[in-house]
Structure 1
């Protein structure tokens, strides 16, 4: 009965069905007997570990800085310029540390990028590229964050020293932009860690 049904199918369609079955069989045989090797270079793993730690430091620095900036703003509103200037000095040092961390992170991301071509399977290398892209964007946002922070510190310092007046609107705007960059930095680092978890599931 099955054979009768088979011969009732047009010849061209029969050939197509046989062709598809052969392709599927070949695919299954390849998947079973020729599994794509799973490889991760040690250079990538070491750089990834370092990048993760550095990014964590950057996130912590930016979060602490954002908290202190809000506190400085409150001191400014209260007219407590002495405490505000003390916090400003701390933030200038934190700003320097963040810039150094950005340089360190970029060096580790470069090592990761160089090793991507040696990663297999392809899906894992694609996850690696996505993670590197996320942290590269984080560095870009950190640079923007540092620029806004430096502008804010200069405006506040000038105000506290009596060199400028009527700067409240600019201060509020810069603080808002800084907080936006901090949120972006946190989100990008979270994305990096999520993609790396997907990467790990490949092995």
Structure 2
């Protein structure tokens, strides 16, 4: 009798977990657009009315490559999370756990690449001193500063996403919603990060409009 009750309880937990997974907001995709803007910024940034300093060109190209890696990794992580949401956790918990592990690995790599991107952006900022126009330098510095803040927020985002994935992994392994509080808290933090990144992105675009009008 006890075994039957335990079995029924386990089935109920699995059913609730599957239902809960389907309700998790798909927030990560917003970061792809923002990372693409980073790429566009680096590709389109150089002024066309004066020769480009060698250090600027090198830093821009390196930053663009890293940005593209982040875009790719974020996209892959998104897809893994989507697959987890629709996966048959009860029938194939092993597959769901594998997807979580892969998502965590991709997210960790995006985290490391974000640090690398911040270093390239700092080099990019240093190279702006070689431009002759003081106003162009100032506007460019302001834009890069906002972009560095955006990357910093993205780094925090990856950390919170990892907490979310850890909680999700434990929930799937134990087939219970005991981790619901952790999952919801980390998901809320991820959402806050995304909102901050949106605001920073709007600020960045405003800086870029001023930069473009300086020519």
TM-score range, shorter chain: 0.5 to 0.7
Q: Is the 8 A contact 1:59 1:186 kept in 2?
A: no
1:128: which partner in 2?
Answer: 140
Alpha-carbon offset, residue 139 of structure 1? 2.1
Equivalent residue for 1:97?
109
Larger mean CA deviation between 108-117 and 170-179 belongs to 170-179
Q: 1:162/1:65 Cα in 2 relative to 1: closer, same or farther (>3 Å)? A: same
In structure 2, what is the equivalent of residue 143 of structure 1?
A: 155
Q: Which runs of 4+ in 1 moved over 3 A?
A: 37-40, 73-80, 179-203
Shift of 1:147: 1.2
CA 43–52 in structure 1, closer or farther in 2 if over 3 Å, else same = same
TM score, norm. by length of structure 2:
0.60
Offset of 1:202 from its aligned partner?
Answer: 5.2
The yes-or-no answer on 1:114 pairing with 2:126 is: yes
2:173 corresponds to 1:181: no
Residue 158 of structure 1 pairs with residue 147 of structure 2: no
Q: How far does residue 128 in structure 1 lie from its aligned partner after superposition? A: 1.7
CA RMSD in angstroms comes to 3.4
| Cα deviation, residue 88, structure 1 | 0.9
Question: How many pairs were matched up?
Answer: 167
Moved more, 109-118 or 62-71: 62-71
Unaligned runs of 5+ in 2: 1-48
Alpha-carbon shift at residue 59 of structure 1 (Å): 3.4
Task: Say whether 1:55 aligns with 2:67.
Answer: yes
Instruction: State the Cα distance separating 1:154 from its structure 2 match.
Output: 1.6
Task: Give the drift of 1:85.
Answer: 0.6
Q: TM-score, normalised by structure 1?
A: 0.63
**Gap change, CA 1:88 and 1:66, over 3 Å in 2:** same
Structure 2 residue 68 is the aligned partner of structure 1 residue 82: no
Q: Shift in Å at residue 174 of structure 1?
A: 2.5
Report deviation, 1:43: 0.6
Distance in 2 between the 1:72 and 1:184 partners?
26
Quick check: 1:41 aligned with 2:44? no
Does the Cα contact within 8 Å between 2:157 and 2:190 map onto a contact in 1? Answer: yes
- Name the CA distance, whole Å, in 1 between partners of 2:71 and 2:149: 13
CA distance in 1, matches of 2:158, 2:192: 12
